Amino acid sequence: MPKVKDIAENFEKYREVLIHRGLDNLIPTIENGINDFKKLRELNKILREKKTELNKINKEYIEKKEESLLKKAKVLKEEINKLEEEVKNIEEKISKIELLLPNWIHPEVPLKTGEEYEKPIRYIGRPKVYENQIENFIKMYPNVEFEKIDYEPLHHYSLVGKYIDQEKAGEISGSRFYYLFNELVILDLALSLYAIEFFKNKGYSDVLMITPYMMRKEVEEKITYFEAFQDALFNVEDNLILISTSEHPIIAYYKDKLFDPRDLPIKILAWTACFRKEAGAHGKDTKGIFRVKQFHKAEIHVITKKDEDYDEVFKLADAVQEFLNSLNLPNRSVIVPSGDMDRRALIQIDVQTWFPAEGKYRETHSIATMGTWVSEKLNMRYGYAGSKKELVRNVYATAAAVERLICAIVENHYNPKENIIEIPKVLHKYTLGVKEIKI
């Protein structure tokens, strides 16, 4: 994780990181932090000198018992107290600034902002493309195989809106909440169970969790890029928030943990309900359950040693794409450009699922390594007794954002001849005999 003391000597390099992340507005604040750090360094030097002088006077007083030495000691103590208070205030200012410092950027990340700069890695499946959208598809996704369809694909809400009640939920809970009914309830639960089964079989459940749905704010501040994320959080009490993803309470569970190197990597699989205000999403995806304030999610978190996290990101991306393929959902993986990445991430891969009604791939999964960005704040280390300790690396991955996957299944598995949604076969053992959804 970047620290003010680390970037003070080479700020020009870090300035580039801020610019590429679209955070150049932070430059003046961080420059002030660097000036504070330099001042802090001088104050600490003066403080050490005065403490050394005080120790010398105290020893001299023991020998001589002179009153003048007591007066000198008293004056020095007052000066030391003032300096310590000033040091404490500056340290607090620097700590607040360090919460604003985004992570460094991996060399493979495109140094741009905007989805047009996403760097494709792999395409899986043949997306259904409406004949009127083929020209645009080829322009957006050159050299990608597709299946031509002669019927206009429908938005998930047009297909299964009768199983969703947002109006009544709006009266009771507010916008972007919903009631789900009947077959969609079964599909929700089936997807959750299948995701757990799939990724457990892939070896991602050394630990299987359901975490608390609430966290203390001071813990959340150490795990997220809080300055940017706080508008998305629901505050329950002054110091308590609803979780936006299980990733945060997963990491918090290992706060102040010293790991035995032989136990790493640890792969954790969690399922929770999640809550987000969706601030800044006004006018986007207002109909249906693609972008909502309450949703179910399976999350993977991997705690690794140094130099193992980068490979883990790509392994997880492959596993996620295989998971989507098992649901017969065409998808692609992309490296996210610097200006759109999680500010904690060194590198982030998004896996995007095909949505026929929109004629585009949309993000359903994110995978990233945060390096030491969180582990330094939470004191998560590994090493043997008596040896040098190393900070662990933290990697997270969406296993299944359930409501978004329901949307994808509905749109991709619509059978216009039968006017039904065909539920993927891999889910049948969890669907209580339900194999289709009637429109």
Nearest Cα to 28, choosing from 75, 92, 97? 97
Q: Indicate if 222 and 270 belong to the same structural domain.
A: yes
Q: 102-115: buried (b, 16+ CB within 10 Å) or exposed (e) per residue?
A: bbbbbeebbebeeb
Could you tell me the pLDDT band of residue 58, with boundaries at 50, 70 and 90?
confident
Could you tell me the pLDDT band of residue 99, with boundaries at 50, 70 and 90?
confident
Could you tell me the pLDDT band of residue 279, with boundaries at 50, 70 and 90?
low
Q: Indicate if 159 and 208 belong to the same structural domain.
A: yes
For 184-238, write each residue's pLDDT tens digit.
999 999 999 999 999 999 999 999 999 999 999 989 988 987 676 677 888 888 8
What is the predicted pLDDT for the residue at 281?
64
The reported pTM is 0.92
Q: Which domain holds residue 156?
A: 115-438
Q: Indicate if 232 and 292 belong to the same structural domain.
A: yes
Share of the chain above pLDDT 90, in %: 82
What is the predicted pLDDT for the residue at 421?
98
Could you tell me the pLDDT band of residue 286, with boundaries at 50, 70 and 90?
confident
Q: Indicate if 198 and 309 belong to the same structural domain.
A: yes
d(CA 4, CA 35): 10
More confident residue, 246 or 61: 246
Number of CB atoms found within 10 A of residue 283's CB: 5
d(CA 109, CA 115): 13
**What are the DSSP calls for 19-44, one per residue?**
HHTT-GGGHHHHHHHHHHHHHHHHHH
What is the predicted pLDDT for the residue at 228?
65
Q: Which of 98, 124, 159 is the last residue of a domain?
A: 98
Q: Evaluate if residue 280 carries a pLDDT over 60.
A: no
For 426-438, write each residue's pLDDT tens digit.
999 999 999 999 9
More confident residue, 56 or 21: 21
The residue to which tokens 């997880």 are assigned: 316
CATH code, 88: 1.10.287
CA distances from 147 to 75, 156, 212 (A): 84, 19, 44
- Number of structural domains in the chain: 2
Taking phi first (over 0 means left), then psi (-120 to 50 degrees means alpha), and beta for anything else, what does residue 432 get? Answer: left
Q: Which of 67, 98, 129 is the last residue of a domain?
A: 98
Q: Evaluate if residue 285 carries a pLDDT over 80.
A: no
Intra-chain end-to-end CA distance of the chain, in Å: 51
Report the greatest alpha carbon distance in the chain: 104
CATH code, 355: 3.30.930.10
The residue to which tokens 């596993």 are assigned: 319
* Inside any domain, residue 370: yes
Q: Indicate if 50 and 192 belong to the same structural domain.
A: no
d(CA 94, CA 92): 5
Contacts (Cβ under 8 Å, ≥6 apart) of 92: none
Beta bridge partners of 360: 355
Query: Mean pLDDT across the stretch 306-319?
Result: 97
* Inside any domain, residue 349: yes
* Inside any domain, residue 256: yes
Nearest Cα to 326, choosing from 124, 121, 122, 123? 124
For 323-362, write each residue's pLDDT tens digit.
999 999 999 999 999 999 999 999 999 999 999 999 999 9
What is the predicted pLDDT for the residue at 13?
93
Which helix (H) or strand (E) element contains residue 364?
A: strand 360-369
Number of CB atoms found within 10 A of residue 151's CB: 12
CA dihedral defined by 240, 244, 250, 256, rounded to 10 degrees? -50
Q: Evaluate if residue 266 carries a pLDDT over 90.
A: yes
- Mean pLDDT rounded to a whole number for the chain: 94
Contacts (Cβ under 8 Å, ≥6 apart) of 332: 120, 121, 122, 123, 124, 141, 144, 351, 352, 361
Q: Indicate if 216 and 265 belong to the same structural domain.
A: yes
Q: What's at 233, amino acid-wise?
A: L
Could you tell me the pLDDT band of residue 282, with boundaries at 50, 70 and 90?
low
Query: Mean pLDDT across the stretch 134-141?
Result: 96
Identify each DSSP E strand in 73-163 by its residue range: 119-124, 128-130, 147-149
Are the C-beta atoms of residues 3 and 30 closer than 8 Å to each other? Answer: no
Structure tokens at 421: 């949604």
d(CA 2, CA 104): 7
Q: Indicate if 270 and 326 belong to the same structural domain.
A: yes
Q: 393-419: buried (b, 16+ CB within 10 Å) or exposed (e) per residue?
A: bbbbbbbbbbbbbbbbbbbbbbeeeee
Q: Evaluate if residue 62 carries a pLDDT over 70.
A: yes
Structure tokens at 71: 């007066």
Q: Indicate if 173 and 236 belong to the same structural domain.
A: yes
d(CA 363, CA 287): 17
Q: Indicate if 276 and 397 belong to the same structural domain.
A: yes
What is the predicted pLDDT for the residue at 188?
98
The residue to which tokens 């296993």 are assigned: 399
* Inside any domain, residue 397: yes
